[in-house]
Amino acid sequence: MSDLTKMSAAQLAKAIAAKEASAVEVATAHLDRIDAVDERVHAFLHVDREGALAAAADVDAGKRTGPLAGVPVAVKDVIATKGVPTTAASKILEGWRPPYDATIVERLRAAGTVMLGKTNMDEFAMGSSTEYSAYGPTNNPWDLGRIPGGSGGGSAAAVAAYEAPLAIGTDTGGSIRQPGAVTGTVGAKPTYGGTSRYGLIAFSSSLDTPGPCARTVEDAALLHSVIAGHDVRDSTSIPQPVPDVVGAARRGAGGDLSGVKLGVVKEFAGDGSEPGVLSAFHESLEALVKLGAEVVEVSCPHFQYALPAYYLIAPSEASSNLARFDGVRYGLRTGDDGSRSLEEVMSLTRDAGFGPEVKRRIILGTYALSSGYYDAYYGQAQKVRTLITRDFEAAWKSVDVLVSPTTPFVAFPFGSRTSDPYQMYLADLFTIPTNLYGGPAISVPCGLSEGLPVGFQVMAPTMADDRMYRVAAALESAVGTLTPPTLEATA
Amino acid sequence: MAAISREEVAHLARLSRLAVTEEELDRFAGQLDVILQSVARIGDVAADDIPPTSHSVPLTNVYRDDVPVPSLTQEEALSGAPDAYEGRFRVPQILAEED
């Protein structure tokens, strides 16, 4: 493995700016690494070798500049990239090349980053294990027989396997943080509306939030600062300045948390978390106390209803959003032999194009929105969302951030939860409240359990993304970053 | 709350324009039943006076000056279409011959 692939994004940006390394060398090192390991990891659905090398050459020629000039980045396949295949890991979009870039992709290009390709995910971001990708699962670099989390398992695994220093994910119920936790990487969900959704293939529009994956908190903050900010093309984009997340991460790395109050949610105790996860979490709390933080127990009585509310709201929005995949404007069309009606062709196309989890959620969402059940399910879930928001707002009166394990368990073996959807949904138990509320949250590696990574989650008030970066960086300075296996041994 | 039957799943699949197989009907009916039982406990949590939240940020319409700006060309808009004809999306028949 090249030394260039071991470097952080911050180090790479500095080395390229100082002409100590060329952007083409850096891109080539990462493309070679992908060639060497991706057959086993399967983090990528599409590698844009030509595009990456051309972009890198432009950086070296001084035609492209920016704060991350020449730094490679991988992009989750649910984000539109002009001329580069974008499938949301679904057969229904196989081969689709969008005619436009998502806003965050435009911003990545403007920052000088070099896009390596598109990463694997659960189909339409529905899942917690990347087992629902229509193109086969991604394998966790820590143990190739285990899941890399989901839905952004490809982005997290690409970073953990040193195939990319940075990746973009999207977080609807924990899809950046949970893969971060189980792959030993940093994953952050910015404030909803803090990063533009223009050009995202929508799953649940009121929840979807793009954000960064990286191996260090500082790198996540650098990527966050590049993609965040108001976008007039997204009506939910917040017209406020982006908090100084990079400054906060650097301040936190200094290791002083004097005066910072951390809230531990009482209702998250006794939830069936694995003992190894709990002990890594409690050891991390002790490390934060040594840095000057104070730990306070807070009650968020409605958090226990977040998971059921989410599993009504998200499928309901998905059933509406996925109506656009009808075999007319883009993607697959099946059964159009001249004898069938539009409706029949549409049904056959959607049957052939969607996988089991997507179908299950479309049907569940259609049910929750149907006449007679709307008030009992969808309407009630939206009220629960209000109560969860009130719990967060009450918590901010006594603490600066809330903390928890990111996920109740470490990476599980493939197939162990696919037969029981609700068991799979439990992976998102701790991450979902934040999505319903809209605030930012980050997962930072905090240790190992049974040789596998454990994530520590920091949740903050909306638009206080800097606060979570400060605490996360302080924890990282205390416990260190995890070093994933190099994969050479498993060749 | 009501359990979900196989027939109901078939009806929902039709509404969703999903041609599901017999095997899928059996499987989804069982799985959706488990999911609905698990989520049913939200039923009594919020009283009538609790307002619903649809988005975590206030939704406002986005206006701009009525000035033409570049958009996708017709060719670009049709570039991903499974079938196109004379610059338009071509769809299978909507009305049967007897209609």
In chain A the domains, ranked by start, together with CATH numbers, are 4-254 (3.90.1300.10)
User: Which site among A303, A316, A363, A378 would you substitute to test the B interface, given the most B Cβ atoms closer than 10 Å to its Cβ?
Assistant: A363
A335 to chain B, closest Cα gap in Å: 10
Question: Is the model's pLDDT at A406 over the cut of 90?
Answer: yes
Q: Which residues of B touch A421 (CB under 8 A)?
A: 31, 34-35
User: Please, which pLDDT band fits residue A489 given cuts at 50, 70 and 90?
Assistant: low
Task: Say what the pLDDT of residue B62 is.
Answer: 81
A327·B18 Cβ contact <8 A: no
Instruction: Name the residue facing A235 among B8, B50, B61 (closest C-beta).
Output: B61
Residue B93: per-residue pLDDT: 83
Which tens digit of pLDDT belongs to each residue from A319-363? 999 999 999 999 999 999 989 999 999 999 999 999 999 999 999
Distance from CA of A219 to the nearest CA of B (A): 27
Judge: A380–B81 Cβ closer than 8 Å, yes or no: no
The pLDDT tens digits for A168-200 are: 999 999 999 999 999 999 999 999 999 999 999
**pLDDT, position B99:** 52
Does the beta-carbon distance from B45 to A387 stay under 8 Å? yes
Whole-structure pTM value: 0.97
A289 lies within 8 A of chain B by CB: no
Q: Which of A99, A351, A376 faces B18 most closely, judged by CB atoms?
A: A351
- Give A92→chain B minimum CA distance, Å: 11
**Which residues on chain A are in Cβ contact (under 8 Å) with B9?**
363
- ipTM score over 0.90, yes or no: yes
d(CA A120, CA A175): 12
Between B38, B52, B92, which is nearest A382 by CB?
Answer: B52
**Partners of residue A92 in chain B, C-beta under 8 Å:** none
Catalytic residues of A: 76, 151, 175
Q: Are B57 and A192 an interchain contact pair (Cβ–Cβ within 8 Å)?
A: yes
Q: Give chain B positions within 8 Å (CB) of A171.
A: none
> Quick check: A305 and B45 CB within 8 A?
yes
- pLDDT above 90: percentage of residues in chain A: 93
Q: Is residue A58's pLDDT more than 90?
A: yes
Which chain B positions have a beta carbon within 8 Å of A238's beta carbon? 57
> Distance between CA A252 and CA A246 in Å, rounded?
10
Q: Do A99 and B79 touch (CB under 8 A)?
A: yes
> Which class for A192: exposed (0-12), middle (13-18), buried (19 or more C-beta within 10 A)?
buried
* Residue B1 pLDDT > 60: no
How many Cβ pairs closer than 8 A exist between chain A and B? Answer: 179
CB contact under 8 A, B83 and A333: yes
Residue A491 — very low, low, confident or very high, per pLDDT cuts 50/70/90? very low
Domains of chain B and any CATH numbers: 1-45 (1.10.20.60)
Q: Does A384 touch chain B (CB under 8 A)?
A: yes
Rounded to the nearest angstrom, the minimum Cα separation between B68 and chain A is 15
